[in-house]
Amino acid sequence: MGGLTERITKTTDLTVWKGEIPLEFVYTMGRAGEEFFRAIKEEGKFIGARCDGCRILYVPPRIYCERCLDRLEGNYVEVSSRGIVHTFTLCYESMDGERYESPHILAMVKLDGTDGGLVHYIGEVSPEEVWIGMPVEAVFRPKRQRKGSIGDIRYFRPIEG
């Protein structure tokens, strides 16, 4: 076994140590993301960021317009918690590989009047009854259970078109 100064001349002679390196991650959602989740937690509503020049309403909000690079902070507006199923898929297993009793419906929901949307579950409906273009609305958790995360939305459920 060589040391850290081992000189590698042939790739077949590599020394391998097996072990684990402890790492901690901090994931930040950014200033616009914080504002987005604050509105969900405290007010049970969605906000977006509007670029008046480009006529784009970003959801989730951004601090800059990706097209013209204008600053959008301060241009936050409330947007609808209703939308349509833009596309969807079915999940049969959890992240740990455990089989669900019935498949979960995961959808991209485009929010009404905006150019954005959210990826989330669809609830209160069976997989056979979901269709692209189906009108849905967000179901928020009760305020005292909200933590300022995507889990504050239980799912989107179908509504009358």
CB contact at 8 A, 2 and 8: no
Give least dist CB 132 to Zn ion, A.
28
User: Alpha-carbon distance 97 to 110, whole Å?
Assistant: 29
Does 65 help bind Zn ion (rule: CB under 5 A)? yes
Residues 33-62 that bind Zn ion (CB under 5 A): 51, 53-54
Give least dist CB 39 to Zn ion, A.
22
Q: Which is nearer to Zn ion, 113 or 151 (CB)?
A: 113
Residues 68-97 that bind Zn ion (CB under 5 A): 68, 70
User: Alpha-carbon distance 36 to 66, whole Å?
Assistant: 18
Integer distance in angstroms from the first to the last C-alpha of the chain?
69
Q: Which is nearer to Zn ion, 51 or 111 (CB)?
A: 51
User: Alpha-carbon distance 67 to 54, whole Å?
Assistant: 8
Q: Which is nearer to Zn ion, 39 or 51 (CB)?
A: 51
Candidates 31, 38, 67, 147; binder of Zn ion (CB under 5 A) is: 67
Burial of 2 (0-12, 13-18, 19+ CB in 10 A): exposed
Q: Which is nearer to Zn ion, 51 or 153 (CB)?
A: 51
* Site of interaction with Zn ion (CB under 5 A): 51, 53-54, 65, 67-68, 70
